[in-house]
Amino acid sequence: MPSQPQVGWEHVDMVPWRTAMQQALYGPSGFYLRERPGAHFRTSVHASRLFASAVAELVRRVDEALGHPGRFDLVDVGAGGGELLTAVAGLEDLSGRLAPCAVEVAARPDGVPAEIGWRPEMPEAVTGLVIANEWLDNIPLDVVELSPDGPRLVLVDPATGTERLGPAPSAADLTWIRRWWPLRKPGDRAEVGLPRCAAWADVVSSLHAGLAVAIDYGHLLADRPMAGTLTGYLDGRMVRPVPDGSCDITAHAALDACLDPDGVLTDQRSALRALGLTGARPSIELARIDPRGYLAALCAAGEEAELIDPGGLGGFGWLLRPVGINHFHDTMAW
Ligand SMILES: C[S@@+](CC[C@H](N)C(=O)[O-])C[C@H]1O[C@@H](n2cnc3c(N)ncnc32)[C@H](O)[C@@H]1O
């Protein structure tokens, strides 16, 4: 039997990846409007409460640099289930000056403490700390492939994940690709991080004074993954990235492209060590005088070691951008 011709199907149903991701993750029945991230993958926030204690230490340092303002905003962008803010608010009271706020498209979950604000968009004129853990990798982006005829936008069928090459990318995308993800041979692919850099710039522009931090897995200009990094996650497993709303769709972040001259890009290992998480094991002497304390310290050392493991969470990038506290980087020695 001859195969059925799919007349018009490719032209009607195939869309650029950015459109497909937007709909799959944040459309009316999108993945993130239905699901909690913690049910599908494990971030540093879920790995250990010590991540929240490091963020609390960062709050103290930024508060100090700001001269202890009357109100200290702690904004978590892409807050998921609000786990980080809940943990930090429990650790750090800043004498009633701490104003925690989640920026999250998903609805406020039951059980988030009342003092934590919850909103879908960035507040304005933030004074304090903005933190975005594993947010940039979920910002929809386009994929461009170098064909024998030049760069082409990759189109995808949202129902099946089938791809084909479409039109030439926009001039803005091409400029970004040339600068940040040069394509060398046919088949090479770039994930065009322009919308992520714009989203990050929006976050920084909402900061009146303090520090903005984006934390994510990523890659640098010298070492871009030419086959791309689009991945799906579902129930703790990696799955094929089909943008039908059934799974998380993520792509590693080109954090260096979002760095401006006032920012710093370091890795989580260096950042957490600067905040006091070293992974050092307690002395064996402690086991003799305080066996329980020794076990607790040993357990904490194991959790710290996971958070700073250079081959795992410790290899994540930390993009740090101070506003109005320009010597902050010197005091931290990231
Ligand atoms: C990978 S999860 C990270 C959750 C949390 N930060 C953590 O580390 O466990 C990304 C979260 O960002 C949210 N998100 C993505 N884009 C957003 C946007 N433009 N505004 C608000 N929330 C957004 C998603 O709904 C999702 O909960």
The pLDDT assigned to 330 comes to 86
Q: Do 255 and 136 contact (CB within 8 A), yes or no?
A: yes
All residues at 6 or more sequence positions from 261 whose CB lies less than 8 Å from its CB, including other chains: none
Q: What percent of the chain shows pLDDT beyond 90? A: 89
Put simply, whether the predicted model's pTM sits higher than 0.85 gets the answer: yes
- Ligand 1 centroid distance, CA of 249 (Å): 12
Query: Which residue reads 């310290």 in tokens?
Result: 297
CB under 6 Å to ligand 1: residues?
Answer: 32, 37, 43, 45, 78-80, 103-106, 120, 133-135, 138
The whole-chain average pLDDT of the chain stands at 94
The pLDDT assigned to 4 comes to 36
pLDDT tens sequence across 138-173: 999 999 999 999 999 999 999 999 999 999 999 999
The pLDDT assigned to 37 comes to 87
User: Atom 22 (ligand 1): residue with closest C-alpha?
Assistant: 104
Instruction: Extract the residue ranges of the chain whose pLDDT is less than 70.
Output: 1-12
- Ligand 1 centroid distance, CA of 180 (Å): 24
Rg (CA), the chain: 22
| From 26, 29, 31, 32, mutation site for ligand 1 pocket: most ligand atoms within 8 A of C-beta | 32
pLDDT tens sequence across 302-325: 999 999 999 999 999 999 999 999
Query: Which residue reads 């086991």 in tokens?
Result: 287
* Strand ranges in the chain using DSSP code E only, listed in sequence order: 15-16, 72-77, 98-103, 117-119, 126-133, 142-147, 150-156, 163-165, 189-192, 207-216, 231-234, 237-239, 248-250, 264-267, 317-323
